[in-house]
Amino acid sequence: MEGFYPIIILFILFFLNIPIAFALMGASMYYFIFVDNVMSMNMIMQRFVTSIESFPYLAVPFFIMVGSVMNYSGISNSLMQMAEVLAGHMAGGLAQVNVVLSMMMGGISGSANADAAMQSKILVPEMRKRGFSAPFSAAVTAASSSVSPVIPPGTNLIIYALIANVSVSKMFLAGYTPGILMTVALMITVHIISKKRGYLPSRDKVASPKEIAIQFINSIWALLIPFGIILGMRFGLFTPTEAGGMAVLFCVIIGTFVYKKLKLRHIPIILRDTVYGTGSVMFLIIGAKVFGYYLTLERIPQSITTFLMDFTDNKFVLLIIINLLLLFIGMFIEGGAALIILAPLLVPAVTSMGIDPIHFGVILIVNIMIGGITPPFGSMMFTTCTIVGVKLDEFVKEIIPFIVALMIVLIVLTYSAPIAMFIPNLMG
Amino acid sequence: MKNFFRNIEVILGSIAISITVLSVITNVILRYGFGIQFAWIEEVSVGCFIWTVFLGATAAYKDKALIGVEVLTQALPERGRRFLELIIYSFLFVLTATLFYLSYNYTVGSDKITSALEVSYVYINSSIVVSFGLMTFYSLKFLVKDIILFIDEQRSVEKTNLVGKE
Amino acid sequence: EEAATDTGEKKVVIKLSTKFAEEEQTAKSLKRVVEKINERSGGSLELQLYPNGQLPIGKNSMEQVVSGANWISVDGLNFVGDYVPDFNAINGPMLYKNFDEYLAMTQSDLVKNLKDEAAKKGIKVLSLDYLFGFRSMLTDKAVKTPADLNGVKIRVPNSQLYMYTLEAMGANPTPLPFTEVYSGIQQGVVDGLEGSLMTIYGRKMYEVRKNVSLTNHLLGVSAVCISKDVWEGLSENQRTIIQEEFDAGAKYNNDVTVELQKEYRVQLEELGVKFNEVDLPAFNVETAKVFSKFPKWTPGIYDEIQKELKEIRAK
Ligand code: NA
Ligand code: NA
């Protein structure tokens, strides 16, 4: 029983309005000081440093910085104009752009938190100008950020493939269908809400082909950046993490020499934004990882899993239970950490029941991503709320329809393996 | 100069993140352009990233910008909220001071060395000592401020009561 | 510590942390060891296995050991090498022709002295014998001589020993996080990798490159370490049980590994992978230089190792 105290303490701290990162750390520290007798107390500090001592995490500051550079370099404006020409006539135009952009960014980056951070910075201010409320803008951004790690490439897809011992290339192929389904579901949700609330289109008519062509030429440099990143990765010039650093370089060059808007005086502001953003996002991830360390030491995820396996031997019932369990755990633990803890526990159990491990990987990752936007502890939820400056209770009201939409996608993916596995079966 | 010290975390963090970005870009250019590769570049970029995280978190804490859940706070009346804030900063002071103490012990007691440069981890681990040290200091500052405010209010309430009686 | 058990000893709980995943042989062997120890001790010992890097691994696992945690670390020899650098030398490039030569080396006086050095740093080395296999080259074209590796970018772990070894072998060593290796090869960030058959088969690397060249340049092997203080706090009986079971476990592990390697080779060949013999002496001349690159290694350690090897081979 003593092993469960930290969870209770966590909830108390949480309701006392202690900053979430500190609530997680405080609850964990109770355990490491008063309960654990494996190691000396100092050694817990090892986790504070080493849990983020990993090269792929560098994508977080890189994409926060890209977002900031884009603002000052005229690139976001250019992209916004292009987006408006394309989607401005639809109800909730910029909200739709927010969703589609996450799908496109998913083809470049793999981190939901980085995507959420970047779009909180470049898109949300524009949305606010066009009359969208801050909580709705934050909800759209957080919800759509769940798409980018599902669409390949992405570190979560690779990590899962390694843990489950399946082909990474197959796992990559398996990401497209859920990514596209999630995008469509989110766009429908945006459409319905925008119609109801009268979030207006920002232009009267659909743009003519000529208008689109002119805007395309005007925005060509901004549009070339994602292509530069994709091509650079395709031709092996850099890894997905390094792509973030290269994106910073591209944006600086284009902002300075093409749009000529980026000046020396912007640099301290960009750096300041990056330091603040990186600090607050990663501090939360550290809190989640330290808390996850306590959960691992107490084997709490294992106890829950064992309990479940005793509960049923029906494949479909098991999947429902696992879905619920993953949603629950995803709310508390940072996505990557949840994946690393849970995949090794669940994969042998599900494969023994005849479920394809690649199919299960899709379910697992989509599940964890939904957990990331679900209160009380979803990590993308915190990223967007921190950067946009929205209170959690306001955010929660706005995120519910999006969670419902993504849950429907999750149910479709879970119970129709042929749909989920269409592309890997076709090409693998 | 005063400004410099007021923004010390952000200034040092900016330097650290600049090194991270520049070293990763340099690494790509050296590898692709010249076929040269240094194992220590990754180590330096990750080390500076860790410093950025802790300096950035400290700056955000100093500005009270770390996010919490404000369900209970909003339901409370003004004076209740002040009292709650006293509790929060007392807790945060104890927590950050504990983390500072443990960070210091851990950093001093560790003789772990890095993979590529094979240098002491002290260069990386000092980031938590500095960060939690500063956070302890800011917590104390917030706490003292809150106590003074709380006492002042208490006094003015008593005063109003006295005035009312006369 | 908890109540006395049926053997009358205090019950000790020890966490065992390893990077190996459940389905990998080292983890399977460790699971057997842990079960046997727990059973034989009659409840006075409870070893808990945490595979797949659930708990800190590598340097961080070793740091737990050194700090006196109730902890056993099963990880590369190089992590003991962080504390006693010569452990890296006895696992340096191209020393052993087969597993038995290495296993004889770990019983030598040279290594016994190193273990004593480790004990001074607070590390009790329980075993150095958990073999994982020799590392080979997985590339696009067959490699025969060092010249064939000229300009070829080979992924290595972020470690100085690997950098120097691959450089000496003629390649362009490129450190990449393991999670970026597969896509890195696919996209051409690197041209190939070096690793054991276990990795090439188990991690599906054969999907992206089809030529294995048997350079056997480094030997994959794990060291089992526990805190010296924790070790000395155990009863005589507990120590005997732990030591005997880890020794028996290593023997079992290595027998299975030898069989598995044969099996994996057959399976890889069925998957279209070609196996190539290389000009070992040509590589050997180059890699001998690596031993003088580390200021922390004892000067002349290479000759000492060669002397031991000569004696081993004479037997
Ligand atoms: Na978005
Ligand atoms: Na992605």
User: Which pLDDT tens digit goes with each residue over A361-391?
Assistant: 999 999 889 988 988 777 788 889 988 999 8
Q: What is the mean pLDDT of residues A305-322?
A: 76
The DSSP call for residue C4 is: B
Tokens of A184: 């469509």
Low-confidence ranges of chain C (pLDDT < 50): 1-3
Sequence length of chain A is: 428
Q: Which of A138, A156, A175 is nearest to A375 (CA)?
A: A138
Residue C143 pLDDT: 95
Give percent of chain B with pLDDT exceeding 90: 55
Residue A108 pLDDT: 56
Interface of B with C (CB under 8 A): 31, 35, 37, 39, 42-43, 109-113, 115-116, 118
- C157 touching chain A per CB within 8 A: no
β pairing state of C274-276 and C12-18: unpaired
More confident residue, A421 or C136: C136
Of A84-98, A115-129, A282-296, which range is least confident? Answer: A84-98
Q: Which of B53, B108, B121 to mutate to test the interface with A (most CBs of A within 10 A)?
A: B53
Q: Which ligand is nearest to the CA of A155?
A: 2
More confident residue, A300 or A358: A358
A116: CB partners within 8 A, 6+ apart:
A141, A142, A145, A380, A383, A384, A387
Alpha helices by DSSP H, listed for A146-265, are: 155-164, 168-197, 209-218, 220-234, 240-253
Cα–Cα distance, C77 to C86 (Å, whole number): 10
Nearest-CB residue to C175 (from B35, B39, B110) = B39
Q: Which of C57, C59, C78 to mutate to test the interface with B (most CBs of B within 10 A)?
A: C59
Helix (H) or strand (E) holding A99: helix A93-106
What's chain C's average pLDDT? 92
**C148-159 pLDDT, tens digit each:** 999 899 999 878
CB C228 within 8 A of CB C124: yes
Q: What is the mean pLDDT of residues A393-412?
A: 94
- Contact at CB, B39 and C158, closer than 8 angstroms: yes
Q: Helix, strand, or coil here: B106?
A: helix
Size of interface A-B (CB pairs under 8 A): 185
Give percent of chain A with pLDDT exceeding 70: 86
Size of interface A-C (CB pairs under 8 A): 100
- Contact at CB, A237 and C52, closer than 8 angstroms: no
- CB contacts, 8 Å: A393 with chain B: 69-71, 74
Q: Which residue type is seen at B59?
A: A
Of A246-250, A267-271, A294-298, A341-345, which range is least confident? Answer: A341-345
Residue A340 pLDDT: 62
- Which pLDDT band holds residue A88 (cuts at 50, 70, 90)? low
- CB contacts, 8 Å: A392 with chain B: 67, 69-71
Q: Which ligand is nearest to the CA of A98?
A: 1
What's chain A's average pLDDT? 82
- CB contacts, 8 Å: A238 with chain B: 28, 32
A221: CB partners within 8 A, 6+ apart:
A75, A78, A254, A258, A259
Cα–Cα distance, A161 to A164 (Å, whole number): 5
**B24-76 pLDDT, tens digit each:** 999 999 988 887 778 788 899 999 999 999 999 999 999 887 765 555 566 77
User: Is this model's pTM higher than 0.90 or not?
Assistant: no
- Contact at CB, C159 and B39, closer than 8 angstroms: yes
More confident residue, C219 or A122: C219
- Which pLDDT band holds residue A428 (cuts at 50, 70, 90)? very low
**A265-276 pLDDT, tens digit each:** 999 999 998 999
Q: What is the mean pLDDT of residues A231-258?
A: 83
Q: Which ligand is nearest to the CA of A121?
A: 1
- Contact at CB, C59 and B115, closer than 8 angstroms: yes
Sorted by where each begins, the domain ranges of chain B are 1-66, 68-166
Cα–Cα distance, B92 to B52 (Å, whole number): 22
- B53 touching chain A per CB within 8 A: yes
Residue A199 pLDDT: 82
- Which pLDDT band holds residue A156 (cuts at 50, 70, 90)? confident
Q: Which residue type is seen at A280?
A: S
Residue A80 has pLDDT above 80, yes or no: no
Helix (H) or strand (E) holding B131: helix B122-165
Q: Most confidently modeled of A63-77, A411-425, C158-172?
A: C158-172
The count of other CB atoms within 10 Å of the CB of residue A220 is 12
Residue A300 pLDDT: 78
Chains that touch A (3 or more CB pairs under 8 A): B, C
Q: At what angle do helices A93-106 and A75-87 cross, to 10 degrees?
A: 120
Residue A308 pLDDT: 67
Residue A217 pLDDT: 84
**A194-212 pLDDT, tens digit each:** 989 888 776 667 778 888 8
Torsion angle of C-alpha atoms C122, C127, C131, C137, degrees rounded to 10:
30
Residue C72 pLDDT: 98
**B14-37 pLDDT, tens digit each:** 999 999 999 999 999 998 888 777
Q: Which residue type is seen at C246?
A: F
- Contact at CB, B84 and A268, closer than 8 angstroms: no
Q: How far apart are the first and last CA of chain A?
A: 48
- Contact at CB, B56 and A275, closer than 8 angstroms: yes
Q: What is the mean pLDDT of residues A304-314?
A: 72
Q: In this structure, what are the phi and psi dihedrals at residue C220, rounded to the nearest 5 degrees? A: -80, 120
Q: Helix, strand, or coil here: C273?
A: coil
CA atoms within 13 A on the CB side of A153: 26
CA of C39 to the centre of ligand 2 (A): 47
CB C147 within 8 A of CB C278: no
- Which pLDDT band holds residue A337 (cuts at 50, 70, 90)? low
* Cross-strand pairs, C213: C137, C276
Residue A402 has pLDDT above 70, yes or no: yes
- Contact at CB, C158 and B111, closer than 8 angstroms: no
Residue A168 has pLDDT above 70, yes or no: no
**C96-105 pLDDT, tens digit each:** 999 999 999 9
- Contact at CB, C159 and B35, closer than 8 angstroms: no
Cα–Cα distance, B56 to A283 (Å, whole number): 9
Q: Mark the residues whose beta carbon lies below 5 A from ion ligand 2.
A: A 106, 110, 148, 151, 154
- Which pLDDT band holds residue A72 (cuts at 50, 70, 90)? confident
Burial C21-35 (b: 16+ CB within 10 A, else e): bbbbbbbbbbeebbe
Q: Which residue type is seen at B79?
A: R
Site of tokens 């908890």: C2
CA of A107 to the centre of ligand 1 (A): 13
A260: CB partners within 8 A, 6+ apart:
none
Of A231-245, A301-315, C81-95, which range is least confident? Answer: A301-315
Q: In this structure, what are the phi and psi dihedrals at residue A378, rounded to the nearest 5 degrees? A: -60, 135
- Which pLDDT band holds residue B9 (cuts at 50, 70, 90)? very high
- B37 touching chain A per CB within 8 A: no
Q: Which of B115, B117, B121, B125 to mutate to test the interface with C (most CBs of C within 10 A)?
A: B115
Of chain A residues 283-302, which have a CB less than 8 A from chain B?
283, 286
CA of A142 to the centre of ligand 1 (A): 7
CA of A113 to the centre of ligand 1 (A): 11
Cα–Cα distance, B132 to A23 (Å, whole number): 15
Q: What is the mean pLDDT of residues B139-147?
A: 93
- Contact at CB, A13 and B91, closer than 8 angstroms: yes
Burial C161-190 (b: 16+ CB within 10 A, else e): bbbbbbbbbbbbbbbbbbbbbbbbbbbebb
CA of A176 to the centre of ligand 2 (A): 10
